[in-house]
Structure 1
Amino acid sequence: MKRFALTSLSLALLGAAGAAQAQTSVTLYGVIDTGIAYVSHANVAGDHLFGMVNGTLSGPRWGLKGQEDLGGGLKALFQLESGFDPGTGRLNQGGREFGRQAFVGLSGNQWGTVTLGRQYDPSVDMVQGLTADNYWGAAFATPGDVDNYDNSLRVSNAVKYVSPVFSGFQFEGIYGFSNLAGATGQGMTWGGAATYANGPFSIAASYLSVNNPSAGRAPLTTTNTGWNSPSSDSLFNSVINGGYSTAHAIDIARGAGQYVFGPFTVGASYSFAQYKNDGNSLFRQQEKFNVGNGYVNFQLTPATLLGLGYTYTHGSGDTSATYHQASIGADYSLSKRTDVYAVGAYQHASGTQRVNNADGVSTSTTGATASISDFGFDSGRSHQELVLIGLRHKF
């Protein structure tokens, strides 16, 4: 009798454990993406570079994500994601342990999802997936990532809402707190996005407004660490917009569309970015960047994807720089998790641009120089070429 009772208890406990396992899940995941690149005019002296470049198609990362079924269609969820440099082993995103994402939230089938923490802005969630950056990464991105095309911005201390899908339509909004006593608007971030999908056709639009949290905004280098607090990780990593690291605020509007037919995917996007000045800024007139991008992908075989892209970027207001960038890519899947790829890009610059001076407290205008995407290789010349062969593994 005792043996029967113990056996029954053991089976009951095992059944309860199995039910809990089914209701709760935690997943370990990641991406390692690295390659060898040749870059012409990789510095202001005009020297060429042959070396390792990481994260071209996908930013290297590892993370944990999970959810718990709370019943009645309600779930608790979380995600922790850390970015790193495979070449050195160092943390990215300013050395943050979970600099890519760190949030917790609740999700309901009827009302959507609310999350709190460090997160992507809505344009990344809804617009980026329709752009060339979604397939080819940095080599196809906007020069200097002036419009956050390549996700240089993330939003800390943020509350985000994502709606359910209504007949192909979905929207989301985000608000990032400054956490500054007596200065709520200083360092505040807010934005929203909406998308619509119907069969092979998809379209999306977004708006993002980011305010500088730093009262004194001396640039010191092309990367202003003051912007790092609420959102920016590498937004000023290029000479193309480094001269605007003392901006009071940045507003970015984006739109994109994509159509799939047979083996072809065709997409186009437009963005308008404003770098706004105030009395503390080291430039005296707003800089506006208009960016147009188009791409064509061709699925040559189930394992082989080919792509062509073109990006036009024009600055106006404070300066008058124009950048033409053509990109090409090929990707071959060795398995569902591993692929090899080759990408190339050519950029030509003309007009004038604003740069930070060596004294760290002033800026000046110079002839525009090429700097492909947001790799950070400032050429000191009017043109630049990049060729890269890489390997990516997902787990």
Structure 2
Amino acid sequence: MKRIALSTLSLALLGVTGMAHAQSSVTLYGLIDESVQYVNNATPHGGSLVQLYSGNLQGSRFGLKGTEDLGGGLKAIFQLENGFDVNNGKLGQGGLMFGRQAYVGLAGNAWGTLTLGRQYDPLVDMIQPLTGDNYFGSTFATPGDVDNNDNSFRVNSAVKYVSPVWAGFQVEGMYALGGVAGATGSGQTWSGAATYATGPFSVAAGYLHASNANTLAARTAAGGWAGTAGGTFDSSFPANAGINSAYAFSKAIGIASAAVQYVTGPFTANLSYSNAQYKPDANSGFLTTQKFNVGRAYLGYQLTPAALLGVGYAYTRGTGDATATYNQVSLGADYSLSKRTDLYAVGAWQHASGDQRDPTTGGLVGATASIGSYGNQSSTSNQVMVSVGIRHKF
């Protein structure tokens, strides 16, 4: 079957007659990431799990993005993007039609970009690119994604501004309205970050604050989290499930994060640090702020123009409500067959110690391993995961 390339479509082809201009375009794009995955010590029986898994290096997706030249260096822009599971065709992000991104806005050469809708937060935009997650995905992510380094959530109802680049320096800010009458701060999210890049050196830092709904009724109806940080703190992540379940109800989350990266020849090295704080209130099932201090290191080697190797280490230390500690070592290899298709193998080992809060009973239990942000809880304090896959972009 002959493949038809749909890189750009005029708006007229989408039925918007009389409004299209020569400077207007819509781009159809997507990505399919599929793998065979092995996980040991898998619950509930502690045996080995072999499965097909969609979305290792990147989540499988399908989207549309467009621009219209308004003149004078000003453009109207939009992006609509869904996530899906290639194994069963189901939508990701809780079944939302455009769960990954959905926004519209204006972009100007001189003053930057302003967008409104469901979007990534500034930490994901500016700090994640300087971590191992950017190169090898979720297998290199923070255990439980307690600091959203693997962008487990997006922000709803968000207004986001991204500045132009000034001599290598760029800033980004976001505010999401909670939309609760008489309680402006209920459910709101706000964040800011900055990055600087010059030659082989890059550095970025930022902070994110997300508030839950003020009322117990709203949290109960939502199953624990009712703020604008949509999809926040997936209850399948053992590291933080017990403080974000319907039992616990975190009041607010604060995440401070920074990263630095240096590229020399075929080597890429980066270091990053995050401090994530899960804060309770009178409606919460825990009394003391849970803190996670996360340190990550990554070293990549471009063996050939087509072959990339990488190794990463993540240390996560919990204090306050629970004392779980996670050590995770990750390995990755990626080989490009073309500009659009590559083969990869990724693997990780994790060891957990200390205790974590149980999402069902609310009590403290021994910490169990759970690599990255997959949510595959181990039946013991150790876990190994290996995935071999293919990724195709279109």
TM-score exceeds 0.5: yes
Provide the secondary structure at the position in 2 that maps to 1:389.
Answer: strand
Q: Percent identity?
A: 59
Between the two proteins, the alignment pairs up a number of residues equal to 371
For the Cα contact (< 8 Å) 1:188–1:210, is it kept in 2?
yes
Structure with larger Rg? 1
Matched, 1:248 2:251: yes
Name structure 2 gaps, 5 residues minimum. 1-16
Cα deviation, residue 216, structure 1 = 2.3
Residue 225 of structure 2 is matched in structure 1 by 227
Render the CA deviation track for 1:18-38: whole Å, top value 9, x for unaligned. xx6541111001111010111
- Amino acid corresponding to residue 279 of structure 2 in structure 1: K
Deviation at 1:200, TM superposition (A): 0.5
Deviations 1:362-390 (Å, cap 9, x if unpaired)? Answer: 40101111000111111121100001001
Deviation at 1:153, TM superposition (A): 1.6
| Residue aligning to 1:387 | 386
Q: Contact between 1:73 and 1:108, CA under 8 Å: does it hold in 2?
A: yes
Q: Kindly report which structure 2 residues correspond to 1:162-311, keeping only aligned pairs within 5 A, or say none.
A: 162-213=162-213, 215-216=215-216, 225-227=223-225, 230-233=228-231, 235-236=233-234, 237-245=236-244, 246-311=249-314
* Alpha-carbon separation, structure 1, partners of 2:223 and 2:167: 43
Match of 1:328 in 2: 331
Q: Describe the superposition over 1:332-356 as per-residue Cα deviations: whole angstroms up to 9, x where unpaired.
A: 0010000010001000001111111
| Alpha-carbon distance between aligned partners in 2 of 1:347 and 1:123, rounded to the nearest angstrom | 25
Change in Cα spacing, 1:218 to 1:105, as seen in structure 2 (3 Å) is closer
Partner of 1:348: 351
Partner SS, residue 244 of structure 1: coil
Question: For 1:219 and 1:80, how far apart are their aligned partners in 2?
Answer: 28
Partner secondary structure for residue 230 of structure 2: coil
- Give the Å deviation of 1:174: 0.2
Other structure's SS at 2:309 match? strand
Q: Specify whether residues 387 and 378 from structure 1 end up closer, same or farther in structure 2 by C-alpha distance, changes over 3 A only.
A: same
Q: TM-score of the superposition, structure 2-length normalised? A: 0.91
Measure the CA separation in 1 of the matches of 2:259 and 2:23: 37
Check conservation: 1:219, 1:356, Cα contact below 8 A. Answer: no
1:217 Cα deviation from its structure 2 partner: 7.3
> 2-side partners of 1:310 and 1:145: how far apart?
14
Q: Give the drift of 1:232.
A: 3.4
Residue 217 to residue 286, structure 1, CA distance change in 2 (3 Å): farther
Report the secondary structure of 2:370's partner residue: coil
Q: Give the root-mean-square deviation of aligned CA atoms.
A: 1.7
Amino acid at match of 1:371: S
Deviation per residue, 1:120-158 (Å, 9 max, x gap): 000111111111100000000000000001001211001
1:257 Cα deviation (Å)?
0.8
Alpha-carbon distance change, 249 to 234 in structure 1, aligned in 2, over 3 angstroms = closer
* C-alpha spacing 1:217/1:364, structure 2 compared with 1 (3 Å): farther
Which consecutive unaligned segments of at least 5 residues does structure 1 have? 1-16
User: What residue is the counterpart of 1:93 in the other structure?
Assistant: 93
Contact 2:219–2:226, Cα closer than 8 Å, also in 1:
no
Match for residue 6 of structure 1?
none
Take 1:235 and 1:313, find their aligned partners in 2: how far apart are those partners?
A: 16
Is the contact between residue 211 and residue 227 of structure 2 (CA under 8 Å) also seen in structure 1? Answer: no
Letter in 1 for 2:215: A
Give the alignment's TM-score, normalised by structure 1: 0.91
CA contact (8 A) 1:133 1:140 kept: yes
Contact kept in structure 2, 1:217 and 1:280, CA below 8 Å: no
